[in-house]
Structure formats: C-alpha cells, structure tokens
Structure 1
Amino acid sequence: MLQVKTLTKRFGERTAVDKISFDVAGPCMIGIIGASGAGKSTFLRMMNRLTDATSGAITYRGADVTSLRGSARRQWQSQCAMIFQQFNLVPRMDVVSNVLHGTLNRRSTLSTMFNLYPTEDIHRAIAILDRLGIADHAPKRAEALSGGQQQRVAIARALMQDPAIILADEPIASLDPMNAQIVMDALRRIHDEDGRTVIANLHTLDTARRYCDRVIGMRQGRIVFDGTPAQLTTGVARDIYGADASFSEAATSTQIETLEQSLIREAEAFV
C-alpha cells in the first residue's frame, strides 16, 4: 500500500533524513520514536508534502507522492491528513468551523471567502465531534477549550477530510497524562473502526508499546529499529536514543498509574 524508498532530506550541509526505507502492506498503526532531531517530524512533513524530499520516493498505491504538484499534491494532502503538536486551530473561531476547515481542499474560493458550508457537512462535523466526545463544545471558541479538547478538535478536522492516512506529529507531547490517554485512545479507535493507517511520532516508549502495531526507531536521520512493540526492549531503546545504562523508561512514562505510583513513593519517603 505504502512504500518509502531511500527517502532523504538535506538542509544545506545537514542531513535530517538519511535514506530511510520501509513498506506498509495494509492499514496499521505505526509509532515512530527517537530523540529530538532524529528526523521524525521532517519525515512526516515529506509524507504530507509540506516539504520536498531531496531524493528518494514515497509511493502510495503505485503513485509517486514525491512528484505530485499543484492540485494533485493538494488532493494527496486531503488523503494524508496531518495533526500537529500545537493543534493549529483558529483560536477565535468556533469549534465546528475549525472542523469544517477540513473540507477546504474541495471547496470553491467563493464559499471559502464567505464561510459557506453545505448543511450535510455541518451535520457530519457535529457527528464527528460527537464521536470524539466533544459535540457539546461545537459552538464554543476553540481557545476556550482545554489542550486535550483542542487536540480532539484537530483530529475531527482531519477526519472531515476522510483521509486514508492520518499523520500525527507528537500529538500528546503538550498534554497531561489523562488527556494524552484520551487522544491516543481516539487515534487507536479511528484505526480499528475505520481501517485508516495512523502514523504517529511519539516521545514515550510506553505509549508506542500500548497503542501501536509496529514501532520504527530513528536516530540521526536513519531507521535503526523496525519491529513489534514486544521487540522494543529497554536495550533496544537505549540504542535508538543513544543512551547509556542510566537510561530509565520511567522518567518518560505517560501512564497515569506510573505517575500516581511515583507520587505515592515520594510521599512515603517523607513519612
């Protein structure tokens, strides 16, 4: 279904993504992990065609995505929706209008200028918000919502595009553990129920193990691990992050239970 072949991105003398290759045979949920600067975000931006590859190719169902231009590139971007760490919503616009922005690629310039939406699109936007548990917030300004709620609005906007692939760039990096769990549950449910491929850049190992079918580890622009969550041992993680024996997964955990236990241990230490 999806093939990435020797994909490379250089910024001057620096190579951000260095000849990475992998295949995706069918819909799945993939987590990409690695230290800051490993090339994870640059890869997703090339996938979505927000930036051009220096060399190599991305092929989806036989079509070379990296060569698309103009309307063909915009059509691909509607099929390969992007979710960002900072939500990228219009803060002073109401929630349902933010979700409806997911239809911009298929609307006329006139309807976009006057903010005109078909009734069926409005109903669909509200139905998607309801599916994500935030339909009650539809008339509110986006800026009035919590971070976790705003990220679910961003997911709803992506679903309005009816994409085959959803790319999520650190979707829970700025969220507390409870909201992180809600957002990841939503992404997993979208994969399971809709059969959409989800590729998410993640910063914690427990999240990758819990939610993903496959984990890809990147280091200095290259893929250094590609396997199942069960194969992602602490030793493998040390190699991915270039860490020594002092590397601790607990320090990066987003599991609510782990954080609660840590707080209990700290409290007991003062008793």
Structure 2
Amino acid sequence: MLEVQGVTRMFGQKAAVDNVSFSVDRPAFIGIIGRSGAGKSTFLRLMNRLTDASRGEIRVDGHEILSLRGARARQWQSSCAMIFQQFNLVPRMDVVSNVLHGILNRRSTVQTMFNLWPRADILKALEILDRLGIAEQAPKRAEALSGGQQQRVAIARALMQDPKIILADEPIASLDPMNAQIVMDTLKRINEEDGRMVIANLHTLDTARRYCDRVIGMRDGRMVFDGTPEQLSTKVARDIYGADTSFNESATSTSIPEDTTADRAYARLMLS
C-alpha cells in the first residue's frame, strides 16, 4: 500500500531526511518519534508534497507521488490529508465553514468568493462534526473553541477530503493530557473504523505505545528504529533520542492519572 524507498531531502549540505526506506501493506497506525530536528516533520511534508525530495521514491498503491506536479499533486493532496500542531484553522470563520475548506480545491472561484456550498456538502460536514462529538460547535467561530476542540475541527476538515491517508504532525503537542487523549482516541477510531492509514509524528513514548501498530524512530534524519510498540524499550528510546541513562520518559507522559475519575468520565462522554 505504501512503499518508501531511499527518500532524502537535502538543505544545502545537510540531510534533513536521509535515505529513509520502509513499507506498509495495510492501513495501519504508524507513529514516528524522535527529538526536534530529527526529520519527522520534513518527512510528512515530503509525503504531502509540500516540499520536494532530493532523491528517492514514495509509492502509494503502486503510484509514485514525489514526481507529481500541478493538478496531479493537488489531487494527491486531497487523498493525503494533513493535520498540523497549530490546527491551521481560520480563527474568525465558523466551524462548519472551516470543515468545508477541506474540499476548497474542488470549488470554482466564484463559489469560493461567495462562500457557496451545496446542501449535501454542508450536511456531510455536520455529520463529521457530530461523529467527532462537536456538532454543537458548528456555528461558532473557530477561535472560540478550546485547543482540543479546534484540533478535532482540523480532523473533521481532513475527513471532509475523504483521504486514503491522514498525516498528523505533532497533533497533541500543544494540548493538555485529557484533550490529547480525546484527539488520539479520535484518530485511532478513524484508523480502525474507516480503514484509513494514519501516520503521526509524536513526542511522547507512552502515546506511541498505546495507539500505534508500528513505531519508526528517527535521529538526525535517519531511521534508527522500526518495530512494534512492545519493542520500544527505554534503552531503545535512549538511542533514538541520543540520551544518556538520566533519560526519564515519565517526564513527557501524556497519561491521565488514574485517580481523575471525573476527567475520565468527561473524556468518555465527549467520545460517545
């Protein structure tokens, strides 16, 4: 389904992504971990065609996507939705319009200028928001929502594209533990229920272990680990992050403490 072969991205003499190769034969949930500057975000931008590779190939269902240009590249971006750490919503625009912007490239210039949307598209956007537990937020401005709600709006916008693959670049980095759990649970449900591949850059090991089918570790642009969550030991993590024995992964945990019963009940309510 996905084949990455020798993908490299050079910035001057420095390789931000250095000869990365792996393959995925099913719509799995893939986590990419590593310290800042490891090449995680650059790799996702290469996949989404937001930047060009220096060499290598990425094939999806047998089709090479790094060579795509113009309309064909934009068509690929519709099949490979991107979710960003900072949400990238239009703050003063209402939530449902932000979701509809997921299919903006399918609209004519006149329709875009006058914000004209077919009833079927509006209903689809509302259905997606309802699925993600935020339908009641549809008429509000995006800027009025909490960070966790805004990230779910960004996920809804991605689903509006009906993509094969969802790329999530540090989707919970700016969220508190409760909202981080809600967002990750949402992405996992989409992966399992819709059969969509999810590739997420993550900054915490407990999140990678809990949600991912497979974990890829990057260091200085290169892949240094490719395995199951169970294989992601503290020793392996130290190697990925280039840390010594003082490394303590619990300091970066996003887990909700066991005694926060009310918070867990609230999270279940938001996902029901």
TM-score, length-scaled by structure 2: 0.94
2:180 corresponds to: 180
The one-letter code of the counterpart of 2:40 is: K
CA distance in 2, matches of 1:182, 1:20: 31
CA distance in 1, matches of 2:50, 2:258: 37
CA distance in 1, matches of 2:225, 2:159: 30
Q: Equivalences for 1:108-187 in 2 at 5 Å?
A: 108-187=108-187
> Cα offset for 1:259?
9.9
CA distance in 2, matches of 1:45, 1:240: 21
Aligned: 1:202 with 2:202: yes
2:48 corresponds to: 48
CA distance in 1, matches of 2:27, 2:259: 32
Percent identity over paired residues: 76
The one-letter code of the counterpart of 1:174 is: S
CA distance in 1, matches of 2:71, 2:109: 14
1:266 corresponds to: none
CA distance in 2, matches of 1:61, 1:133: 32
1:102 corresponds to: 102
2:257 alignment partner, SS class: helix
Unaligned runs of at least 5 residues, structure 1: 261-271
What is the root-mean-square deviation of aligned Cα atoms in Å? Answer: 1.0
The one-letter code of the counterpart of 2:33 is: I
CA distance in 2, matches of 1:149, 1:247: 32
> Cα offset for 1:240?
0.3
> Cα offset for 1:152?
0.2
Aligned: 1:33 with 2:25: no
Q: For this pair of structures, how many residues does the alignment match?
A: 260
2:66 alignment partner, SS class: helix
CA distance in 1, matches of 2:45, 2:246: 33
2:22 corresponds to: 22
CA distance in 2, matches of 1:221, 1:259: 40
1:235 corresponds to: 235
1:67 alignment partner, SS class: coil
> Cα offset for 1:258?
7.2
Task: String of CA shifts for 1:168-192, please: whole Å, max 9, x gaps.
Answer: 0000000000000000000000001
The one-letter code of the counterpart of 1:195 is: G
CA distance in 1, matches of 2:218, 2:109: 40
1:263 corresponds to: none
Task: String of CA shifts for 1:226-248, please: whole Å, max 9, x gaps.
Answer: 00000000000000000000111
Kept after mapping to 2: 8 A contact 1:250/1:258: no
TM-score, length-scaled by structure 1: 0.95
2:264 corresponds to: none
Unaligned runs of at least 5 residues, structure 2: 261-272
